Amino acid sequence: MSSCVLAYSGGLDTSVILGWLIDEGYDVHAVYVDLGQPCEDRQAILDKARRVGAKSATIVDAKEELCRDFAFPVLQWQAKYEGVYLLGTSIARPLIAKKCLQVAREVGADAFAHGATGKGNDQCRFQLAAEALQPGIRVIAPWRIERFRQQFPGRSEMIAYCNDKQIPVKASAAKPYSSDENCLHISYEAGKLEDLSVNGVELVEFGMTVSPQQAPDQVETVSVSFEAGVPVRVNGEPLSPHAIVATLNQIGGRNGIGRVDMVENRFVGMKSRGVYEAPGMTILYEAHRLVEQLTLDRDLMHLRDRLAPEVAEMVYYGFWYHAKMDALMAFIREAQKPVTGEVRLKLYKGTIAVDSRSSPYSLYDEGIATMEGGGSYNQTDAEGFLKIQGLPTRVQARVRPRPF
């Protein structure tokens, strides 16, 4: 009998797939990778897997690794897919694949199964990561298998399957949208969210944030400190990477920070609609950028900003374990060395405003920047600077005059 590990969340898809793989004759080892999912009962998920018939059900704690080794390097890049999405699900997938393969090695499983659909991005992230770590690994993706799709042509059939087997799941025929969560964010898609005339922010029952309208009527101040581009303290208190994210999730969540409703371009070529909430990471992105404004020189920051969309694409597409990503991560570690300092932010009803910022490595020199007289900058020097900068333009203008 073949055995496989299943990346198991306990949600609708993986609950159905667990039962289906067992029906197909597999010994299934369910692996729940604990990424700090804020709304999930871990023991209930393991109990459910065993009740369905899993050969084993394991929790792997990867919360600190997710934040330290995956989310924070992406944060240092200021990488946002298509300028908006903070990549919470994308960042987690290569780590889930890694942990599942480690369990597969321990239990002697010869295949890795997942619940990602054949239309989405996660199938790419899981498979590309697994093959990069273990070339030749057999990947089982039931949504790409015709007989699975014939048995489950829609979510209503999956819900009925779970009802027949007495498998409790969050999704229902009345509220069939799908969610994926970890400590970085929660994503919502499918079901009624596929109708763009529906207000997604009003439809979704958010798990991490209150609406800006329901947030407190007073400003809340929070400070975040960085060392070499890595967040290390919140409100002066040293915290672990996961504790920083969790703390800022609470602070940002109660102030309505970090909700997004977007239509994005999937790697497979179609557009899809997603609703996201990422309160803690939204605060970290803003605070990090503010420290960079003090500590990074212009050309280095602009180079990083030109490369950031490339990094976002690689993370979104699933090329985490890739030679180009290795090189880019080495670059950002070097570039972030001076990004040390503290930012104080004011949060109010979904908005973030800077209150103050400081750094021992600040390149901001008030004596140079001041608009008042004196200082160490001689404005007369700009005369020669502009003559040199304008030389190519003047030459071209004489040869090819521009009408005006």
Distances (CA, A) of 93 to 123, 145, 401: 9, 21, 56
Please give the single-letter amino acid code of residue 178: S
Other beta carbons within 10 angstroms of residue 313's beta carbon come to 16
Long-range contacts of 245-250, Cβ-Cβ distance < 8 Å, separation of 24 or more: 245/36, 245/67, 245/71, 245/183, 245/184, 245/280, 245/281, 245/284, 246/36, 246/183, 246/280, 247/280, 248/222, 248/224, 248/279, 248/280, 248/281, 248/283, 248/284, 249/38, 249/183, 249/208, 249/279, 249/280
Q: Which residues are catalytic?
A: 13, 93, 122, 178
Do residues 63 and 280 make contact, with C-beta atoms less than 8 angstroms apart? no
Q: Which residues contact 147 (CB under 8 A, 6 or more apart)?
A: none
Q: What is the Cα–Cα distance from 215 to 251, expressed in whole angstroms?
A: 11
Q: What is the Cα–Cα distance from 130 to 111, expressed in whole angstroms?
A: 10
